[in-house]
Structure 1
Amino acid sequence: MANRRAVLKAALVAGTGAIVAACTGGGEGTRTDGGGQAAESRPVAKLTAQPAVDATEAPVRGPVTVQVSDGSLTDVKLTNADGKPVEGSFNADRTAWTSTETLGYGKTYTYAATANGTDGKPVQLTGTFTTLNPKQQIRVTVNPADNAKVGVAMPVSVKFSDDVTNRAEIEKALTMETSQQVEGSWGWLSARQIDFRPKEYWPANTTVDVGAKLYGIDLGGGSYARADVTTKFTIGRNQVVKIHTPDHVMNVYRDGAKIKSYPCSNGLDSDVDRNTPNGTFIVMTREPHAIFDNARYGYTNVNKKWACRISNHGEYIHENQDNAAAIGRANNSHGCVNLLEADAKDYFDSALIGDPVEITGSRLGGPVNSDVMDWLVSWPAWKAKSAL
């Protein structure tokens, strides 16, 4: 019996120990370490960032965001390599911070963010990330320039300082807003140029707002734009020049009504290479004085007044008082439209860059190698130049 009581007593002692252990063990939210010591519970809040800490080749276009779950942000700092803060703002309940400043290429940025969890415990996020570093940065320009007033045939031209290949993505990033409804299309003229032209001439007095938001977009082969470019300009009055070369007359129309007729001499009829070419051109430049050189035909350094360039093929509308005997009577120029001095000055004063010049009656077709050929192709052919 003594042995049985000893066993029973031992069992009771063991049972009592088990009960004590159950009553004094870790409660809800409490952990024990390996040595049986109590440890604090982890904070419930969780901080995340985009781009993530230690990210490389991070995009520069999208905003940087810092977010917290089960808590609220108390402070967020994002600093650049010079230690200057990047601008940003919190949302209403301070669960997110979003940058409002564009990031630079090939730069390192540093996070320092804190938040308080719903359990009252603070959390932190620190670290760095680096942005993409382009193989090449390409300069982008847009024409017409800000605040310009241009003619109704003026194309919008976006040009690149080097070849680009990612045409569809580039075209998607181009935006246009007009004060009047306009049907038009972008078209690629080369690996360095994309233009927009309307199906018909622009409505007079239209305001045009263009954005080439290309910064941070891969233009192809690891090349990126140096910066976004924008422009806002106005279409002026509707003025169209019409020349039927056999008539030796240059007519000027405003809103469809003829307002001026000037006698002219056009390219020599008997030599197709000297014909003034057929097609719809635009006034590209206005030059009070222009110097003409053509070694093929034996003249250099010829100064003419009131010159409006209408193509990169070499054609101008300009004064040629030296050819007064032929003006209005015969075509004998090297391709330009010759006017008497007073008429050339009168037309020059009325012209805007982008005014259309429609030429018919010649045996020479329009040049197709010019960077201003937008109106020399049909509308279906123009739309086919789009990458979308």
Structure 2
Amino acid sequence: MSVLKTRRRLSVAVITLGLAAALGLGACSGDPTPAPTTTTGPAGGSGPAAQVQPAKFTTRPTAGATDVAPGDPVNVSVANGVLQSVTLTNTDGKQVSGQLTADKHGWMVTEPLGYGKTYTWSGTATGMDGKQVPLTGQFTTVTPKRQISGRLNVGDEQTYGIAIPIALTFSSKVTDKAAAEKALSVETAPKTEGSWAWLSDTQVHWRPKDYFQPGTKVTVNAKIYGVKIGDGTYGKQDISSSFTIGRSQIVKGDTRTHRLQVFRDGQQIADYPASYGLDSDPGRVTHSGTHVVMSKHSTYSMSNPRYGYTDVNVPWAVRISNNGEFIHGLAASVWAQGKKNVSHGCVNLSPARAKEYYDGVLIGDPVEITGSTQQLGPKDGDFSDWTYSWQDWTKLSALNA
């Protein structure tokens, strides 16, 4: 064997013995200090192991809260655990209905709370540490100085014309209009662009940007109960209504041609000779502008002491504004109908033609009058919504102020 081969074998043996010694030392050594426990963080780094946390409750309102509005959110949530049970009990010992979320991390009330009552939380949650934590705490709802109710102009399962505005009238002045408006909603199918507008301190209207599409389904909700809408003033009850828009019918009248034309679903179905208000007297002119049918009466008693008549009964009267304008029958003016304007602001038709129009009219149908010297405006009262441009209308929303 050569000397070179002998030296290589000796070197390998030395290395092998060294490794064995090192391994033996490690295996037979005493009780070394363990390396720190590490955990991988979100970015893949290492750090101290996360400590297991107990369950922690968050309640709305917070424990001890007073003068809570019943319309405010009322719920409980838990972090680092899951809810096992939740109970909210009022002053009389009655449990409030509620619903647990699917992940058992939250619970919320599903019925209105009362005014001037104390509510108590109870229940438990199990934390990530396996321990149960009790739910405790109380809060008290406000006792209002005043409660305001509301009334809608539209009824359930009714059918209205394409220009119908939704009018909500409050029983007294609303000082926080923005808070009240946030509680209002209008849902339409098909979707229809529209806006609320405050026409006074007690009345807010919603109208679409353009006439409704025929057949539109509309649901309006005024969820004002428990909502603070003024200093110490709260809503008394929620109000809602679901209704349908009927066929399209637009009436077009021209005081200069003395005609009244009816268009249904885009087709002209009538062309009546009519007599409008006397042009030479501003107090008797039929106003130009978009009127809306407000009501209909088989007979109606007309009075205007300024012009010397009271309790004159007319047939088939359809109110189109709040300033005394109607479309109605009047046999006494048949001679002028289609030729001359002689009325006191109303649109006169023959009784037979008035009956024909009356039978096919819907509340909310638009009546577009042109040609007169006086313009219909907001001063003419309810249902003057279409006298505003869309830009001016949206400015009347408290949420756009």
TM-score category (smaller protein): 0.7 to 0.9
Q: Which residue of 2 aligns with 1:385?
A: 396
1:248 and 2:258 aligned: yes
Aligned to 2:48: none
Distance 2:241 2:87 in 1: 34
Q: Deviation at 1:67?
A: 4.2
SS in 2 for 1:171: helix
* Corresponding residue for residue 180 of structure 1: 190
Match of 1:374 among 368, 375, 385: 385
In the TM superposition, what is the alpha-carbon distance from 1:346 to its structure 2 partner? 0.4
The letter for the 2-side match of 1:300 is T
- Aligned partner of 1:385: which letter? L
Q: 1:287-298 alignment to 2 at 5 Å?
A: 287-298=297-308
> Is 1:142 the equivalent of 2:152?
yes
Cα drift, residue 65 of structure 1: 2.7
Q: How does 1:98-117 map to 2 (within 5 A)?
A: 98-115=108-125
Q: Choose the corresponding residue for 1:364, options 360, 374, 377.
A: 374
Shift in alpha-carbon separation, 1:167–1:68, aligned structure 2, 3 A: closer
Q: Are residue 56 (structure 1) and residue 36 (structure 2) matched?
A: no
Query: Does residue 1:308 correspond to 2:322, yes or no?
Result: no
Unaligned runs of 5+ in 1: 1-42
CA distance in 2 between partners of 1:291 and 1:345 (Å): 16
Q: Decide whether aligned partners of structure 1 residues 55 and 254 sit closer, same or farther in structure 2, where only a CA change above 3 A counts.
A: same
Distance in 1 of aligned mates of 2:397 and 2:56: 47
How far off is 1:271 after superposition?
A: 1.2
2:207 matched to 1:194? no
1:124 Cα shift?
3.5
Residues 1:170 and 2:180 aligned together = yes
Aligned length: 346
Is contact 1:313-1:367 (8 Å) kept?
no
Contact 2:190 / 2:216 at 8 angstroms: preserved in 1?
Answer: yes
Q: 1:264 to 1:172 in 2, by over 3 A?
A: same
Q: Distance in 2 between matches of 1:90 and 1:196?
A: 36
Q: Which sections of structure 2, spanning at least 5 residues, go unmatched? A: 1-52
Q: For 2:202, give the aligned amino acid.
A: R
- Cα deviation per residue 1:323-343 (whole Å; 9 max; x = unaligned)? 322223321111111111111
Secondary structure class of the residue paired with 1:382: helix
Q: Deviations over 1:239-283 (max 9, x none)?
A: 111111122221111133211011211111221211111111010
- SS class of match (1:274): coil
Give % identity.
Answer: 49
SS of the equivalent of 1:168 reads helix
Paired residue secondary structure (1:342): helix
Relative to the length of structure 1, the TM-score reads 0.82
Change (3 A) 1:50 1:378: closer
Q: Any idea what the Cα deviations from partners look like across 1:50-94, whole Å, max 9, x if unmatched?
A: 323332112322443344555554433222233221111333454
In the other structure, the counterpart of 1:204 is: 214
Specify the SS of the correspondent of 2:300.
strand
Shift of 1:219: 1.6
Contact 1:281 1:356 in 2 (8 A): yes
In 1: Cα distance, 2:264 partner to 2:115 partner? 50
The amino acid across from 1:382 in the alignment is W
Letter in 2 for 1:129: F
- State the partner residue of 2:92: 82
**Do the aligned residues in 2 keep the contact of 1:47 with 1:124 (CA within 8 Å)?**
no
Q: CA deviation at 1:288?
A: 1.1
Question: Is the 1:189–1:371 Cα contact (8 Å) retained in structure 2?
Answer: no
Residue identity matched to 2:394 = K
Secondary structure, aligned partner of 1:219: strand
8 Å CA contact retained: 1:61, 1:216: yes
AA aligned to 1:378 is S
Q: Is the 8 A contact 1:115 1:124 kept in 2?
A: yes
Cα root mean square deviation, aligned: 2.3
Q: Secondary structure at the match of 1:273?
A: coil
Q: Distance in 2 between matches of 1:184 and 1:75?
A: 44
Matches within 5 A, 1:315-330: 315-330=325-340
Q: How big is each residue's C-alpha offset from its partner over 1:187-238, in whole Å with a ceiling of 9 and x where there is no partner?
A: 2211112212222211111112222233333222232211222222111111
SS at match of 1:386: coil
Query: Shift of the alpha carbon at 1:113?
Result: 2.4
